[in-house]
Each structure stands twice: as structure tokens, then as C-alpha cells.
Amino acid sequence: MVLADNGHDVRLWSHNPNQVAEINEKRQNEKYLPGVTLPEAITASADIEEAVRDAAAVILVVPAKATREVAAKLAGHIPAEAVIAHATKGIEPKTSKRVSQMIEEELEHVTHRPVVVLSGPSHAEEVAKRQPTTLSASSVEMEEAKKVQELFMNENFRVYTITDMVGVELGGSLKNIIALGAGISDGLGYGDNAKAALITRGLAEIARLGTKLGANPLTFIGLSGMGDLIVTCTSVHSRNWRTGNMLGKGMTLDEALAQMGMAVEGVRTTEAVAELADKAGVDMPITKGINQVLFHGAKAKDIVDQLMTRLPKHEMDDLQDVLNAR
């Protein structure tokens, strides 16, 4: 919708022919964006080749677990000059790859163009109402990030550029783990103090892992770090917060995911990051605790008790680690 508002012809590809028909015939996408009328400049197709033919830019926004499959389908059809961007948030279990790395691997025989990530506090429900939203466009090549900034930027949608791709992708992906935790905390009946603690100490562990993996610590206080962490931990729109909330109220993970019926990236990301923290030797007690709740039958209340009764620490120990990692 932002691209259509900016005067671009937008072709959506979907693997679901019913969704394609609904978008083209009714200008609606009832399951995912109820009540929103899509601009005429948006057309949908179930044929990926037709969708990307002669495209100036190709933007992947499928759930992280579908990224490789869809990028592989795109290979061979992507125009050589097309800007390639994504807005997906997740880390691949086992490989610990970021989404841009998965896309680059699947397209490496076709193009070596650097991928751009568009990330930040941006629930689709509010973007569709044209409410003020700010994001970061990041690529290792500033020129590529600027192209995405120029495509998307308008009076409701402000895009900043940044070249710290590692920090932007990790911030956008790892905040979903903490949002699950914030939802669990609210579901257990804990208050704002607990949520503020999760957000702040969550950011500390995101920054600790991120800098170990090469990110700039300052990126984590930017839109794709602190900004997205705040919106996802506090917004009723967040699927991660809502899923956590159901868990805190006693539902099983399967029940909560069935009720959501949409991508809840934090679940798979928690598993991936708990593994990655061990590989990287980084202390991530909140992520590890949420992993225990999601996959190992731990009771959320017991995990909170464990987190609260760990050995006393100096608050700035973590920040010193982050700075030392630079």
C-alpha cells in the first residue's frame, strides 16, 4: 500500500489462488488485513514469473521458514537490475543464518546484488491506516539502502538508512523472543515493572549477542532495535505478544499457535537463538528461559522465579561486554 501510494505499480505474488482472486476481485485481504480496501495499483498473481517480470524491485515478506523456498522459486525470474529487499524477521535454526543470508545463498547463481532489509516498529494494521511509521532500510551497500528509502518514503512512512545489516536483522528478529516473554508476563498477571524489566534486560542480551556477531552496539538503540522491541512488547497487534499472553494464561503452545493462525516468528527464533547463544558463548538467560517454556515443559512462573533469584550482578557488566566486543 505504501508503494502504491507512492505511485508505483505493485504486483503481489501469493501461493494461495483464493487470496489472489480476493485481492483482484474484491480489493480485500480479509484474513490478514480485515476492513482495508487495497489501492487499484495493487494486483495479485499466483504465477511468480509473471509477478516479477520487468520488476524494478522485488521484496520478499514471507515467514522466515518459507524464505529459502520462495527465494529458490524466484531464482531465474528476477530481473538482473532489480533491487532485492526483504522485511522478514527470523533466524534459521541449526544454520543461525539471517534472512538476507538465506536469500543471498538461494540467489547466488543468479545475482550477487546485496540484499536490503526494511525493518522497524511497523505493524501492518497501522501502516494500512496510513498512521505515522518510521523504519530503517539497511544494506551493506548504502546505495542499495537509499534506493529502498526512496521507493518507500512518504509523509506517513519515514525511512532512515543504515549499513549495519547484522545489527538491523538481529534486532528485528530477536525482539520477537522478548515480546513472547512480555506477553507471558502480562498473561501471568505481572505488571508494567516486569514488562519494563524484560524490555531493558532483553535489549541487554540482544546487544550482547549482536555485538559478538559483529553488529554496532548503537544499532540496538535505533528503530530496528529498541523501537521494534517497544512496539512488539506493548502493542495489541503483536502476534508474538498475543501468543505469549495465551501461554501466560495457561494455554499450550500448540493451542496458542492454532488460535493465532498467522506467523509467530518468535517461536522458531527462540529455538534458533538459544542454540546460537551456546555456540557463541553468550549469556542469554531470558531467551533460554523462554526456550524452556516453549519447548521443554517449564512453567513460566518458575522461570520468572529463577531469573529473579540469580546471583547479584553489576548492571553495567553487560554494557561493558558490549563495548569491549567492538
Ligand X SMILES: O=C(CO)COP(=O)(O)O
Ligand Y SMILES: NC(=O)C1=CN([C@@H]2O[C@H](COP(=O)(O)OP(=O)(O)OC[C@H]3O[C@@H](n4cnc5c(N)ncnc54)[C@H](O)[C@@H]3O)[C@@H](O)[C@H]2O)C=CC1
Which of ligand Y, ligand X, none is residue 231 near (CB under 5 to 8 Å by kind)?
A: ligand X
Which of ligand X, ligand Y, none is residue 211 near (CB under 5 to 8 Å by kind)?
A: none
Q: Minimal CB distance to ligand Y: which residue?
A: 66
Site residues (CB under 6 A) for ligand Y, limited to 235-294: 262-263, 265
* Phi, psi (rounded to 5 degrees) for 86: -145, 160
Q: Note whether 48 binds ligand Y by CB under 6 A.
A: no
CB atoms within 10 A of CB 312: 4
Q: Active site residue: 89, 97, 147, 175, which one?
A: 175
CB-nearer residue toward ligand Y: 106 or 265: 265
User: Could you tell me if 217 and 207 are in contact, meaning their C-beta atoms sit under 8 angstroms apart?
Assistant: yes
Instruction: Mark residues 113-132: x for contact with ligand X by CB under 6 A, - for none.
Output: --------xxx---------
Q: Note whether 88 binds ligand Y by CB under 6 A.
A: yes
Q: Note whether 89 binds ligand Y by CB under 6 A.
A: yes
Distances (CA, A) of 262 to 47, 173, 265: 23, 16, 9
Q: Note whether 179 binds ligand Y by CB under 6 A.
A: no
Looking at 133, 139, 211, 232, which residue binds ligand X (CB under 6 A)? 232
129 is catalytic: no
* Interface ranges with ligand X (CB under 6 A): 89, 121-123, 176, 179, 228, 231-232, 237-240, 265
* Interface ranges with ligand Y (CB under 6 A): 14-16, 32, 61-64, 66, 69-70, 87-90, 122-124, 262-263, 265
Residues serving a catalytic function are 175
